[in-house]
Amino acid sequence: MDRDLLLRELSDFLRIPSVSTLPAHNQDCRRAADWLGAALRALGCPKVEFLGSETHPVVWGVGPEVPGAPTLLIYGHYDVQPPDPLGEWTTPPFEPTVRDGRLYARGAADDKGQVFCLLKAIEAAGKPAVNFRFLIEGEEEHGSQVLFDLLKREPQRVAADAVLVADMSYVAPGWPAVYSTLRGLCYGEITVRTSKTDLHSGEYGGAAPNAHEELCRLLTRLKSENGHINIPGFYSAVKRPSKAELAAWKKLPFKEKDFLEKRVQGKGLVGLKKYSVLERLWALPTFEIHGILGGFTGEGAKTVIPAEATAKVSMRLVPSQKLKTVERQLTAAVKRFAPKYVTATVRFLHGADPAQITLTDASFQKLDAAFKSVLGRGTVPARAGGSIPVVPALASAGAPVILTGIGLPDDRLHAPNEKLELKQLWDGIEVFRKFYELLGKNGVR
C-alpha cells in the first residue's frame, strides 16, 4: 500500500463539507456522492447509480461478477454532522490534518474514513473474492429518509448473503468488537408558547409567564435530577441484559475513571447510579436536551419576556421499545406536565427503532478470524449506545448484519476534533482484505 497516496485520497474526501442537515451544504453532499461514484468505478464496478435524490442520493454500486461466490452488501454513509462549535477545533474541520499519527477532520471516523477503509481493502485484495454490492447514503445523520423511501420501493436492494456495516469502534485500543444491539432514536422539538407576542419585562415581569422558564420546568418534569425519565410507561418495555452478558462486560477493559477523565473530560458522571456505566450507555434508554431556542440571544441587551421557546430533544431507545409508542408517550407526557396557561406541542423530526442482531452466523466467525490474523486478537461482543436508523431495513431480507468498525472510543464523534488513528486505518484495510478473502473461500454458511 502506498500510504501517502491513500492519505491524500482520503483527505480529498474529507475536505467535502457534506453536512446533510444544513440545506446550504446540499451541493456538497452531491459532490461527496460523486466522489464515491468515481471511487467505485475505479474498483471496477460496472454499474454505479445515484438514486432517490439529486442532492443526497444513495450511491448504489455493483461489483464485478464472481460466479459461485457469496454476495456481500456494504453499507455506509458519506454525510457528516455539523462541525459546530468551530472555535473548539484545533485545526479547521474540513482541512484534514495529521498530528501524532492521527487524522483530524469531520467525518474522519464517522463515517467517511471507515467507508474508505472498506473500499481500499477491496483494492488491496486485487481480484474480488465475493460479489460486492454497495449502498452508501447521504442522510444517515439526518434520518435516512431518502434511503428508507428507496428501500420501500425497491426492497431487493438489500438482497445479499451478508451485510457489512463499518460505522462502529473497538471497545478499547486493541479490542475489536461486533455489536449485537443498536439503540433506536426519537428526535423532536418541544415548543412552549405563553402569550401572543414577546412582552416588556418591566411592564409585565412578575405576572406574565416566561416561555423559557415554563419550558425549563417542563423539561425537569420529564427527567429528574437523578436521571430517571418520568414519561409514563417509558420503561415498561425495557429489559435488563442477561447475567451472562453483564458478566462478560465486567471482563472488558473499561475503567470508569478513564471514561470520565479521557473521554468525557469532565468532573463527574450522572445517570441512574444503581446501574454500571456500561449498562447506562448500552442497555438503558436516555432523554437528552440538545439546544434551547427563543427569546433574545444577540449581542447587547433586550428586556423581553419571550412568548415562545423550543427545546431540541432526543431519546435513545433500547431493544423492545418502539419508536411510535415512545412518540405517543412523550406527546402525552408533555400535555400532562405542561401547566394549563401555556400551549405545549411536540414535533418529531426523525427516528428509528432499536436493532438487535444474533451473532451466530458463520460470517461473524470469519470476521473474528480476520481480526485475529492481523491483530492477534479476535472480536468481542458488545452493545452500542448510538443509532444507525436503517439497520433493521438492511436485515429485512434475512441476511446477517455485521456491525463492526475500526474507530476507537475516544474518536470524538459528533464533537470538535474528531479523529481517526492512522494505525487503525492501515490495520483495518488488512483486516477487511482478509475478511473478504475468507468469505469468498468458504462462503457464509
Distance between CA atoms of 113 and 422, rounded to whole angstroms?
10
Closest CA to 164 of 422, 374, 357, 425: 357
Residue of 108, 75, 110, 82 whose CA lies nearest to 25: 82
Q: Which of 288, 320, 352 is the last residue of a domain?
A: 352
- Its domain, for residue 212, covers 184-240+273-352
Same domain for 338 and 315: yes
Q: Is residue 46 within 8 Å of residue 62, measured between CB atoms?
A: yes
Query: How confident is the model over 252-306, as pLDDT tens digits?
Result: 999 999 999 999 999 999 999 999 999 999 999 999 999 999 999 999 999 999 9
Please report where in the chains the cell 418520568 appears, as a residue.
230
Per-residue pLDDT, 143 = 86
Query: Does some domain include residue 250?
Result: no
Query: Which whole number is the average pLDDT over 355-360?
Result: 94
Same domain, 19 and 154: yes
Question: Would you say residue 258 lies in a domain?
Answer: no
Residue-wise pLDDT for 71-127, tens only, equals 999 999 999 999 999 999 999 999 999 999 999 999 999 999 999 999 999 999 999
Q: What is the CATH number of the domain that holds 126?
A: 3.40.630.10
In the chain, the N- to C-terminal Cα span, in Å, equals 31
d(CA 27, CA 19): 10
Residues 376 and 427 in one domain: yes
Residue type, 416: P
Amino acid residing at 17: P
DSSP code at position 273: T
Mean pLDDT of 186-196: 98
- Under 8 Å between Cβ of 52 and 58: yes
Q: What is the pLDDT of residues 194-232, one digit of tens each?
A: 999 999 999 999 999 999 999 999 999 999 999 999 999
Strand 355-356 and strand 177-182: pairing?
antiparallel
Same domain as 393, residue 313: no
Residues 408 and 343 in one domain: no
> Does some domain include residue 224?
yes
Whether the CB-CB separation of 182 and 318 falls below 8 Å is answered with no
Asked whether residue 226 falls in the same domain as residue 173, the answer is: no
Burial of 124 (0-12, 13-18, 19+ CB in 10 A): middle
Which of 334, 352, 370 finishes a domain? 352
Do 231 and 154 lie in one domain? The reply is no
Q: What would you report as the CA-atom Rg of the chain, rounded to the nearest whole angstrom?
A: 23
What's the CATH code of the domain at 341? 3.30.70.360
**DSSP bridge partners of 343:** 193
Asked if residue 255 is part of any domain, the answer here is no
Together in a domain, 107 and 173: yes
Give the residue from 305, 324, 352 where a domain finishes: 352
> Is 168 contained in some domain?
yes
What is the reported pLDDT for 4?
97
User: What is the count of structural domains for the chain?
Assistant: 2
- The verdict on 42 and 137 lying in the same domain is yes
The verdict on 63 and 171 lying in the same domain is yes
pTM across the whole model: 0.89
Task: Give the torsion sign (CA, 13, 16, 19, 23).
Answer: negative
- CA–CA separation, 7 vs 279, rounded Å? 37
pLDDT at 442: 65
Task: Note the pLDDT of residue 443.
Answer: 60
Domain presence at residue 37: yes
Is 160 in the same domain as 21?
yes
Q: Are residues 365 and 281 in the same domain?
A: no
